[in-house]
């Protein structure tokens, strides 16, 4: 029996195809099969040659087109069939991308793999929205957390640790639980007037950014009708978007209008 082919677990970045790494772009052209997620933009999928097989394995909150165990089994099956496989994931595979789970499954079944990093949403969306994640005098560090919890579980984070005014807090997949996130952070001591922003479809031509405060963040998201994929950024650095927003101007949220 022939040895299985290598599976390339590739980060597609946050949406703008020009943010792909050179290696990622090359592998997309060479792949025989691309197994891709919901967060991979249409512009990036257009780079896949027409003769390449595309398999959608997208997942959204509480709506799994293909369960993770089926994705894992598919990757093993394709590799053992000798096909050159690219597993294409939005952002970076190792930052809330479950790339490590897939790599562990491949390793368990003797399938070789390579990880190709991608620009994670926090870096890409923050940059395109004019929000630096760190800035001298405003933030000495940054924390990445998920705002989504496993089905049937409560969002159980160390809120006391996260409620640090010296730190930028970046929340992936936080729309569903934004009210709970706001309440828990304020209860843990983070001031309600802390600057906050939400970025929808960051780095793309459809990007929308709202600027507000932690206290008003849920209401502003509802008023703007932001949809996934959206990223939440909370911290004093958000105020810099008023001057640094360069891609598509940010919107100030006025709840009284």
SS3 string, 96-107, reads CCCHHHHHHHHH
Give yes or no for a contact between 124 and 203, defined as CB atoms under 8 angstroms apart.
yes
3-state secondary structure of 169: strand
Give yes or no for a contact between 237 and 127, defined as CB atoms under 8 angstroms apart.
no
Calculate the CA 121 to chain-centre distance.
4
Scan for tokens 């933030």, then name that residue. 139
Q: Is 37 one of the annotated active-site residues of the chain?
A: yes
Active-site residue, from 59, 80, 84, 223: 59
User: Can you state the angle between helices 99-108 and 68-80, rounded to 10 degrees?
Assistant: 50
3-state secondary structure of 73: helix
Q: Is 29 one of the annotated active-site residues of the chain?
A: no
Nearest to 221 by CA among 185, 186, 175: 175
Q: Which residues pair with 168 in a beta bridge?
A: 142
- Give the whole-angstrom CA distance, residue 28 versus residue 41: 14
Active-site residue, from 16, 37, 92, 216: 37
Residues identified as active-site: 37, 59
């Amino acid at each position: 029996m022939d040895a299985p082919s290598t599976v390339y677990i590739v980060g597609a970045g946050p949406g703008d195809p020009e943010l792909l790494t050179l290696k990622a772009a090359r592998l997309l052209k060479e792949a025989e099969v691309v197994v891709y997620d919901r967060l991979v933009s249409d512009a990036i999928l257009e780079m896949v040659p027409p003769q390449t097989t595309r398999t959608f394995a997208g997942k959204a909150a509480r709506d799994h087109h293909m369960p993770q165990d089926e994705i894992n089994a598919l990757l093993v099956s394709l590799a053992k069939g000798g096909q050159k496989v690219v597993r294409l994931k939005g952002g970076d595979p190792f930052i809330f991308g479950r790339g490590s789970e897939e790599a562990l499954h491949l390793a368990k079944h003797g399938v070789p793999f390579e990880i190709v990093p991608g620009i994670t949403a926090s870096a890409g969306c923050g940059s395109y929205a004019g929000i630096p994640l760190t800035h001298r005098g405003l933030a000495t560090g940054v924390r990445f957390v998920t705002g989504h919890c496993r089905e049937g579980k409560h969002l159980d984070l160390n809120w006391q640790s996260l409620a640090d005014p010296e730190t930028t807090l970046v929340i992936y997949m936080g729309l569903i639980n934004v009210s709970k996130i706001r309440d828990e952070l304020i209860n843990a001591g983070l001031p309600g007037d802390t600057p906050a922003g939400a970025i929808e479809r960051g780095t793309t031509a459809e990007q929308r950014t709202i600027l507000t405060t932690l206290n008003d963040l849920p209401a502003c998201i509802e008023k703007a009708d932001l949809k996934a994929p959206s990223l939440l950024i909370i911290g004093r650095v958000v105020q810099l978007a008023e001057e640094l927003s360069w891609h598509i101007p940010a919107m100030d949220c006025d709840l009284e209008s």
